């Protein structure tokens, strides 16, 4: 550990000299000009298909999916090996209603273990699809439960111990929509793929032979694997064509470890209507929004004043990285109808702080401080409360029916710090404060994932209802999670 340079920038990036070089050179670095081989906005934005309900009556939600190997031609003449659900890359959008019975048959056609986790879903622990529910190669998994949750944009992805990052990187992710009577009544765009557009945002890097460059050296584990090419719904530089009027964009930061600031050309303002767990109480006007890995936002973009032929871009600034022109939006024709944006959205009684009977503290640490560097680097980096994930250990025991405050700190390290993205299974929580200050309006709705910057302390309020069993909490920077920045809570009756 002699030749080591650690730079701590404002964004807390870490640079380690002497990290083993990649076996193949990276595409877009050195020999290649950044996005020279990308699509140049010539291809239409792909819309993931809606997964077909096998119950033709629509009364229950009954689905089947196969997780399989695939390949994609991201660069002409070069094939990238990938994974997908029912296809080559990513998966179909699953749409269910609150109150519906849900059944899924997942077939694992990969040669490795996987799982299928419903991110953001309030679901019995045994069907959560976390590391405790592995699906072996060739095996089938058949979860069955009832949807007990308000309208929201959730998503699904694999969650097998130590394999999440790599499997998501290869293409395993999809959207999961819940609709309900309330969302039916809102006069907002809701036609899937027409004026209600799913946008899975991800970055990738590639080796010069076209394969995904997913490495797990120490630099990548600590910094997360971040890329220099951008994908929207699995396509590089696509164009979305919409009619003028109001368009609803459902944004998912589906990246492994990037934090995105999302905005549009000319800082055009938009209206945020929903966060991770559903509609906000009232719409919030923004010019940009920050989403950490795993977070979602639904926004309305008003294009009624724009003329046909107008082009604008969805821009994504990657924290500590580049600005991407992720997608172009082109107007064609005018929408047949106009919408009345309601002044208020979902009014729900807040979770009261006075309900809370327990306060728990969590410290997320990028690198241990107490010991020598060698120890810190090799043994204690990326911990929660000084511990790494152990599937045989229950970290927190929670009483069924209780409400708790979790105080989560990102301890800025002396040598290095990283932002973390804390995610809880089972619940949709409410943010109480950031560094003691009430959260901004767009973070006052229900959430399941929250960005915590170095030095920051976030307080959240959660109700643990309906289900007992073991669930995960973890950093949603997937390389951190896979390295053990995860714990288990058990809800006991
Ligand atoms: Cu999105 Cu525990 O995961
Ligand atoms: Cu989750
Ligand atoms: Cu983290």
- Residue 158's CATH number: 2.60.40.420
Contacts of 2 (CB under 8 A, 6+ apart): none
Using the mean position of ligand 3's atoms as its centre, give its distance from the Cα of residue 45 in Å: 31
Q: Are residues 289 and 223 in the same domain?
A: yes
Which residues is 338 bridged to in the sheet?
A: none
Residue that finishes a domain, picked among 132, 157, 185: 185
Q: Is residue 123 part of a domain?
A: yes
As for how many domains the chain has, the answer is: 3
The 8 Å CB, 24+ separation contacts for 374-382 are 374/1, 376/415, 377/1, 377/218, 381/221, 381/222, 381/483, 382/221, 382/222, 382/475, 382/480, 382/483, 382/484, 382/485
Q: What is the mean pLDDT of residues 348-374?
A: 83
pLDDT at 318 over 90: yes
216: pLDDT confidence band, cut at 50, 70 and 90?
confident
pLDDT, the chain, mean: 90
User: Which one is predicted more confidently, 257 or 217?
Assistant: 257
328: pLDDT confidence band, cut at 50, 70 and 90?
very high
Asked if residue 296 has its Cβ within 6 Å of ligand 1, the reply is no
pLDDT at res. 461: 98
Q: What is the mean pLDDT of residues 311-327?
A: 94
Q: What is the mean pLDDT of residues 236-262?
A: 96
pLDDT at 88 over 60: yes
**Domain containing residue 256:** 196-331
DSSP string covering 297-348: EEEEEE-TTSPTT-EEEEEEEETTS-EEEEEEEEEEEE-SS-----S-----
Q: What is the DSSP letter of 355?
A: G
Looking from the CA of residue 481, the nearest atom of ligand 1 is 2
Using the mean position of ligand 3's atoms as its centre, give its distance from the Cα of residue 301 in Å: 31
Q: Are residues 398 and 264 in the same domain?
A: no
Phi-psi domain of 421 (left: phi exceeds 0; alpha: psi -120 through 50; beta: other): beta
User: Which one is predicted more confidently, 334 or 201?
Assistant: 201
Q: What is the mean pLDDT of residues 134-144?
A: 98
CA–CA distance, 70 with 171 (Å, rounded to integer) = 9
Looking from the CA of residue 130, the nearest atom of ligand 1 is 2
pLDDT at res. 306: 77
Q: What is the mean pLDDT of residues 457-483?
A: 98
Residue whose tokens read 């022109």: 325
Q: Is residue 304 part of a domain?
A: yes
Q: What is the mean pLDDT of residues 393-398?
A: 98
Q: Are residues 209 and 319 in the same domain?
A: yes
pLDDT at 435 over 50: yes
Q: Are residues 176 and 207 in the same domain?
A: no
Return the top range by mean pLDDT from 187-201, 306-320, 379-393.
Answer: 187-201
Token code pair at residue 350: 């807040």
Residue that finishes a domain, picked among 185, 216, 236: 185
pTM over 0.85: yes
Give the distance, in angstroms, between the CA of residue 206 and the centroid of all CA atoms in the same chain: 21
Q: For residue 23, give the 3-state DSSP assignment.
A: coil
13: pLDDT confidence band, cut at 50, 70 and 90?
very low
Q: Are residues 179 and 202 in the same domain?
A: no
Looking from the CA of residue 119, the nearest atom of ligand 1 is 1
User: Which one is predicted more confidently, 305 or 99?
Assistant: 99
Q: Is residue 341 part of a domain?
A: no
Asked if residue 423 has its Cβ within 6 Å of ligand 1, the reply is yes
pLDDT at res. 27: 79
Q: Is residue 16 part of a domain?
A: no
pLDDT at res. 386: 94
pLDDT at 445 over 90: yes
**CB distance 277 to 446 below 8 Å:** yes
pLDDT at res. 39: 62
Q: Are residues 180 and 78 in the same domain?
A: yes
Q: Are residues 256 and 311 in the same domain?
A: yes
Q: Are residues 292 and 425 in the same domain?
A: no
pLDDT at 8 over 50: no
Q: Are residues 109 and 157 in the same domain?
A: yes
Asked if residue 472 has its Cβ within 6 Å of ligand 1, the reply is yes
Q: What is the mean pLDDT of residues 251-279?
A: 97
Q: Is residue 4 part of a domain?
A: no
219: pLDDT confidence band, cut at 50, 70 and 90?
confident
Asked if residue 346 has its Cβ within 6 Å of ligand 1, the reply is no
pLDDT at res. 89: 98
Q: Are residues 283 and 163 in the same domain?
A: no
Asked if residue 117 has its Cβ within 6 Å of ligand 1, the reply is yes
Q: Are residues 416 and 321 in the same domain?
A: no
Q: How far apart are the first and last CA of the chain?
A: 49
Q: What is the mean pLDDT of residues 263-275?
A: 96
- Cβ-in-10-Å burial (0-12, 13-18, 19+) of 181 comes to exposed
Using the mean position of ligand 2's atoms as its centre, give its distance from the Cα of residue 133 in Å: 13
CA–CA distance, 431 with 434 (Å, rounded to integer) = 8
pLDDT at res. 165: 98
pLDDT at res. 312: 93
Looking from the CA of residue 117, the nearest atom of ligand 1 is 3
Token code pair at residue 176: 């999961």
pLDDT at res. 21: 39
pLDDT at 168 over 90: yes
Ligand of minimum distance to the alpha carbon of 295: 1
Ligand of minimum distance to the alpha carbon of 123: 2
pLDDT at 422 over 90: yes
């Amino acid at each position: 550990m002699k030749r080591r340079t650690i730079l701590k920038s404002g964004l807390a990036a870490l640079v380690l000299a002497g990290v083993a070089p990649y076996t193949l050179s990276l595409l877009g670095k050195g020999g290649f000009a950044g996005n020279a081989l990308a699509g140049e906005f010539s291809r239409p934005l792909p819309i993931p298909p809606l997964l077909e309900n096998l119950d033709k009556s629509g009364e229950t939600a009954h689905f089947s999916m196969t997780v399989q190997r695939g390949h994609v031609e991201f660069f002409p003449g070069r094939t990238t090996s990938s994974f997908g659900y029912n296809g080559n890359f990513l998966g179909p959008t699953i749409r269910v209603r609150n109150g519906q019975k849900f059944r899924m048959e997942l077939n694992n056609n990969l040669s490795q273990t996987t799982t299928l986790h419903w991110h953001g879903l309030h679901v019995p622990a045994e069907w959560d699809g976390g590391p405790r529910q592995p699906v072996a190669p060739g095996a089938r998994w058949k979860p069955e439960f009832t949807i007990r949750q308000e309208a929201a944009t959730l998503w699904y992805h694999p969650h097998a111990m130590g394999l999440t990052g790599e499997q998501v990187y290869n293409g395993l992710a999809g959207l999961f929509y819940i609709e309900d009577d309330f969302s039916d009544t809102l006069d907002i765009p809701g036609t899937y793929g027409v004026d209600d557009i799913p946008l899975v945002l991800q970055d990738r890097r590639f080796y010069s032979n076209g394969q995904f460059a997913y490495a797990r050296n120490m630099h990548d584990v600590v910094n997360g694997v971040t890329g220099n090419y951008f994908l929207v719904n699995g396509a590089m530089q696509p164009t979305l064509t919409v009619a003028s009027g109001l368009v609803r964009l459902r944004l998912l930061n589906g990246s492994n470890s990037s934090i995105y600031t999302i905005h549009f050309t000319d800082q055009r303002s938009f209206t945020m209507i929903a966060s991770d767990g559903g509609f906000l109480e009232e719409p919030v006007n923004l010019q940009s929004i920050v989403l950490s890995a795993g977070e979602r936002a639904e926004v309305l973009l008003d294009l009624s004043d724009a003329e046909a032929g107008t082009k604008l871009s969805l821009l994504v600034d990657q924290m500590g990285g580049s600005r991407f022109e992720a997608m172009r939006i082109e107007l064609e024709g005018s929408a047949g109808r106009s919408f009345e944006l309601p002044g208020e959205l979902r009014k729900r009684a807040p979770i009261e702080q006075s309900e809370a009977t327990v306060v728990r503290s969590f410290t997320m640490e990028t690198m241990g401080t107490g010991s020598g560097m060698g120890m810190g680097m090799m043994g204690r980096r990326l911990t929660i409360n000084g511990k790494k994930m152990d599937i045989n250990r229950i970290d927190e025991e929670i009483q069924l029916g209780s409400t708790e405050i979790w105080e989560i700190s990102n301890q800025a390290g002396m040598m290095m710090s990283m932002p973390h993205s804390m995610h809880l299974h089972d619940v949709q929580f409410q943010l109480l404060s950031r560094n003691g200050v009430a959260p901004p309006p767009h973070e006052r709705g229900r959430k399941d994932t929250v960005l915590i910057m170095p030095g920051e302390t976030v307080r959240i309020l959660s109700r643990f209802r309906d289900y007992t069993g073991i669930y995960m909490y973890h950093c949603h920077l997937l390389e951190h999670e896979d390295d053990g920045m995860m714990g288990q809570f058990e809800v006991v009756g």
